[in-house]
Every structure is written in C-alpha cells, then in structure tokens.
Amino acid sequence: QTTLGDAAAAQGRYFGTAVAVDRLGEPDYTATLNREFNSITAENSWKWESLQPSPGYFDFSTADRIAEHARQQGMELRGHTLVWHSQLPSWVENIGSADELRAVMRNHITTVMEHYKGQVRSWDVVNEAFEDGNSGARRNSVFQRVLGDSWIEEAFWIAREADPNATLCYNDYNTDAWNTAKTQAVYNMVADFVSRGVPIDCVGFQAHFNSGNPVPENYHITLQNFADLGVEVQLTELDIAGSGASQAEQYAGVTLACLAVPQCTGITVWGVTDKYSWRAEDTPLLFDGNYNPKQAYYAVLETLGGS
Ligand code: G3I
C-alpha cells in the first residue's frame, strides 16, 4: 500500500497538506499527516498576525512547532504567507506613510525568512493581491493604497535577498480558468516580472473548487501557460466541495492536470480531515471526519500511480 507522499515522490512531486498546530496533539490527525504527506504548510500560524502581532515584536513559538514537526518527519515546508491583506494586524493596516510601510514590509519579510532560512522550499511571498470579479484590478489593500503598484515586486526583491535559495511564489485563488479577468491579470503581472527580471520563481494556484469555481475542463492549459513563462507552478491549497464519485473524479482531474505539466512540482491539500476544514460543510478534503480515506483519496492515489 503506497501513500500520497510516496506516490507523488515517484512522480517527482511532493504531496502536502495544511496543518493546524493545535490539532497535532490528536493521535489520528498526526498519524494520518505523518503517513500520507511529505510537505507541510502552516494553515494559520505563519501569518503576519501570528508572527508579528505588534510592531517589532516577533513570536515564533507556535510557528516553530510546524517547522519542528516537518524536520522530525523529513517533510518539506511551504511558507505561507509573508505579505497578505488578511490576518494582518491593525497596526499595519493603519500605516499611512509609504516610507514607514516599506520599512515594515522589509523588516517582516527579512526577519521571517531569515528565521527559517534553508528550511523552506517555497514561500508565498505575496498572497491574493488581485480583486475578484471582472475588473482584473489590484485588490484595495493597505499595501496597494500606500505603496502603489510596485509593492509586489518590492516584496519579491526583499525576499530574494533574505533567502536566495527559496522558491518565491505569487499565490492566489480563482485563477484556475484561463479566460477570466483575474487569471489574465495575474498572468500579465508574472509575464511582466519575468521580462524585467523581477525575482519570481513560482505561481501558486490555491485551487479552492466549488460550484462557483469549478475545476476547469482543461486545467493543465492554464498551468502550462503560466509554466511557459519560465516559472514553477504549484497547487497550494487544493480542496473540492462535494462527495462520492463526482468529487473523486474532480480530484483525479486536478491531479492529472498537475502531472501533465512538468513544471507543476507539487500539490498541497488545505487540511487533513473534513472535520477541520475551513469549509467543513463542503466536505472538501481526502479524509472524512474519522480519518477514513474517501473515494477522492483513492482517485488521487491511483492517478499518482499508487495503489
Ligand atoms: O484561533 C481563534 C480562536 O482563538 C477563536 O476563538 C476563534 C473564533 O473565531 O477564531 C480562531 O481563529 C480562526 C482561525 O482560522 C483558526 O481557526 C479565525 O477566526 C479564522 O478567521 C481563521 O480562518 C482561516 C482563514 O484562512 C482566515 O482568512 C482558516 O483557518 C484558514 O484555513 C484560511 O486559509 C486561507 C489561506 O490562508 C489563504 N487562502 C484562502 C484560505 C481559505 O480561506
């Protein structure tokens, strides 16, 4: 019997999950995590509000438990996330001076990346900087308002300096279907960065799917188009609302899309068990509330060549 992690590794990929620190004490949770996955993303504990709740005060105590678990288990780490409008403390949201915000952004990225230097394979340097809907516009965040369009590339330059060996990702959701304003806006930004030498290495597709954002029929085309710009692509927060055969089929399709694209280096699902999912009512994950593998689990495993 193979596992998701082993089967993905045989395909030259990782298979990861988001982890909530306070669940690590639950034996079934940790057993499932350790058996099936070989990469971890902290679901919440590496976010700005957790790491630097007040100006200049960094607290890595909870975050380090994720890193320690990964180290003990020989798992990779994805760093999520350095600059994001959400789970951002109000002291940052209230900064009105560009010089001050720039210095604060630099200090946060540098301190966090240096703390974990050499331990994190990929970082979500910037998360969710574009609006939903048809505008293709940048999201109205404090970074966008105070620093203007250049804030994203500034973040990537700072990140490259802080840990030159990490893979630097731009991460977003609803960027799966190719012909939408949001996907095109992100694509254009990445193309522009690559052409001007801004240090971006990767695009993360959160891949949160439901009826509003269904799995596109030719998902691999979107992934391949981005990869053709010269970046890695990763599925960073995969979950698919549904159940049974239909959910399993969609999971298989997404897995196949990644396998079809040589530059798709790995898949992370956004949680171990349905019961702790951020949208538990959608039962979007691979294990049910009792840690039994679902049809979706077997579909992913078989698509990865495992059994
Ligand atoms: O820890 C507190 C707890 O002390 C308090 O009693 C409780 C009351 O609401 O809240 C708890 O914090 C919650 C936290 O999850 C931990 O469970 C927050 O309210 C809740 O907002 C937070 O939600 C997280 C969400 O990001 C916040 O935006 C989800 O767990 C997490 O899965 C989700 O992850 C995001 C990615 O980072 C970015 N992409 C989308 C994805 C899904 O929304």
Mean pLDDT of the chain: 98
CB burial readout 202-233, b (16+ within 10 A) else e: bbbbbbbbeeebebbeebbebbbebbebebbb
d(CA 88, CA 100) in angstroms, rounded, equals 16
Specify the pLDDT at position 29.
98
199 has a pLDDT exceeding 90: yes
151 has a pLDDT exceeding 90: yes
- 49 Cα to the center of ligand 1, angstroms: 11
Specify the pLDDT at position 1.
78
pLDDT band per the 50, 70, 90 thresholds, residue 304: very high
Q: Which residues are catalytic?
A: 128, 237
- Per CATH, the number for 4-303 is 3.20.20.80
Cβ of 277 closer than 6 Å to ligand 1, yes or no, is: no
Query: Which atom of ligand 1 is nearest the CA belonging to 80?
Result: 37
pLDDT digits (tens, 9 = 90+) for 32-42: 999 999 999 99
Cβ of 175 closer than 6 Å to ligand 1, yes or no, is: no
Ligand 1 atom 34, closest CA: 43
Q: Where are the domains of the chain?
A: 4-303
15 has a pLDDT exceeding 90: yes
pLDDT digits (tens, 9 = 90+) for 222-265: 999 999 999 999 999 999 999 999 999 999 999 999 999 999 99
ipTM value of the model? Answer: 0.94
175 has a pLDDT exceeding 90: yes
pLDDT digits (tens, 9 = 90+) for 72-102: 999 999 999 999 999 999 999 999 999 999 9
